[in-house]
Amino acid sequence: MANETTITMVGNLTADPELRFLPNGTAMVKFTIASTPRTLDRQSGEWKDGDPLFLTCTGWRDLAEHIAESLTKGTRVLVCGRLKLSRWEDKETKEKRSAYGLDVDEIGPSLRFAQAKVQRMHRSSKSDGFIPDAPQDDAWSIAAPASAAAA
């Protein structure tokens, strides 16, 4: 949408992503990432950690399922999304509350300190979901069924 605040954040997952399904069947995942700035103290020559920023992120549909299958606690990720403000009233104290969160558009593991193997997904004509592409060098993916080989 136009005029939404989009941000990119690098941080670590504080826990495994939590996948849920809404009553209408839509997949939703929630997770929190923490980002802690580090600065070099020129006098001591040591790195100092700043105040951490914790941001709750929400992913939807196929992206939600891919996040839940691919990422775990501690994974360093790059997340792009739309900053959202949520407002509510505390049920006990009746105080007004608010918090920022991120609606995830894109996410991936950081390859600065890790390696990842990407598995492309494609839609199956027989199902509503994604299925992984078979690797080109996988003999089983190109093998003919036994009935076809006998003919």
Domain coordinates in residue numbering, the chain:
6-109
pLDDT, residue 116, reads 85
pTM for this model (two decimals): 0.74
Q: Which residue has the higher pLDDT, 75 or 142?
A: 75
Q: Answer whether 57's CB lies under 8 Å from 104's CB.
A: yes
pLDDT, residue 54, reads 96
Looking at the DSSP bridge assignments, the partners of residue 98 are 87
Q: Which residue has the higher pLDDT, 2 or 83?
A: 83
What tens digit of pLDDT does each residue of 57-98 get?
999 999 999 999 999 999 999 999 999 999 999 989 989 999
Q: Which residue has the higher pLDDT, 66 or 1?
A: 66
pLDDT at 151 over 90: no
What tens digit of pLDDT does each residue of 19-57 get?
999 999 999 999 999 999 999 999 999 999 999 999 999
pLDDT, residue 144, reads 53
Domain 6-109 in this protein, CATH class: mainly beta
CA distance 63 to 19: 11
Contacts of 48 (CB under 8 A, 6+ apart): 38, 39, 40, 41
Q: Answer whether 49's CB lies under 8 Å from 38's CB.
A: yes
pLDDT, residue 117, reads 86
For residues 102-106, average pLDDT: 96
